[in-house]
């Protein structure tokens, strides 16, 4: 649980421990950030092991990306975090690489993957029991400025996430707690969708075998 008296640094450390328990931050992957009321940003630095994130692994940056406090290089994907903050009301952006979010991106059709209907969609603030969300999926690019612009072009404020092929998901929300809820919901829905596809394929195979 995120404490009510959180600071940006302690909050990022709390969130990273939670995500590490899930196994979502392997091999120094992922990056986490928060936007302060003055629009400055606190973000994990490049190469830090988020499974054991320490205070010195977090940098304080201006909205333009200049380092205000801390040592080291900011996350290589800082431009994407800053771009999301500029075009949404988000105060947190969490990015993780998981097997499930990498696999689900392979099923994208014309740049989107349909998720739902499922009860867990309500955790993404969509309350219609028949709701289906169209999650944007983009190819991964080495040019971060170009990728950040493509992310901005595809963002849907009503769908708090965006997937990069063979990479991972960016999730954004109005608070750290909300963003964490969104991320947990997405990952549950990804696993459910993948398992459903597998079970459907097995059912078809069994039906075919019974006809032979």
Q: What percent of the chain has pLDDT over 90?
A: 84
| Model pLDDT, residue 4 | 42
Q: Which residues of 97-130 are buried (b: 16+ CB within 10 A; e: fewer)?
A: bbebbbebbeebeeebbebbebebbebbbbeeee
H or E segment to which residue 205 belongs? helix 176-211
Kindly give, in sequence order, each residue whose CB lies less than 8 Å from that of residue 143, ignoring residues fewer than 6 positions away.
none
Q: Model confidence at 96, in pLDDT bands (50, 70, 90)? A: very high
Give tens-digit pLDDT for 25-71.
999 999 999 999 999 999 999 999 999 999 999 999 999 899 999 88
Taking the C-alpha atoms of residue 135 and residue 24, their distance in angstroms, rounded to an integer, is 20
In the chain, % of residues over pLDDT 70: 94
Report residue 156: phi and psi, to 5°: -120, 110
Q: What is the largest CA-CA distance in the chain?
A: 69
């Amino acid at each position: 649980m995120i404490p009510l008296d959180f600071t940006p640094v302690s909050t990022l450390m709390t969130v990273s421990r939670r995500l590490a328990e899930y196994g979502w931050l392997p091999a120094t992957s992922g990056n986490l950030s928060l936007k302060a009321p003055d629009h400055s940003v606190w973000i994990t630095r490049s190469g830090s092991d988020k499974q054991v994130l320490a205070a010195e692994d977090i940098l304080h940056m201006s909205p333009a990306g200049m380092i205000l406090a801390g040592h080291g290089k900011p996350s290589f994907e800082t431009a994407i975090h800053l771009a999301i903050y500029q075009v949404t009301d988000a105060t947190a952006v969490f990015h993780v690489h998981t097997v499930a979010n990498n696999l689900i991106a392979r099923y994208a059709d014309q740049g989107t993957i349909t998720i739902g209907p499922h009860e867990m969609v309500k955790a993404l603030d969509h309350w219609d029991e028949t709701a289906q969300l169209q999650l944007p999926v983009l190819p991964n690019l080495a040019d971060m400025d170009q990728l950040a612009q493509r992310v901005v072009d595809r963002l849907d404020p009503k769908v708090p996430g965006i997937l990069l092929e063979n990479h991972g998901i960016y999730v954004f929300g109005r608070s750290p707690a909300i963003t964490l809820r969104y991320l947990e919901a997405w990952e549950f829905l990804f696993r459910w969708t993948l398992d459903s596809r597998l079970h459907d394929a097995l059912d078809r195979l069994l039906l075919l075998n019974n006809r032979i």
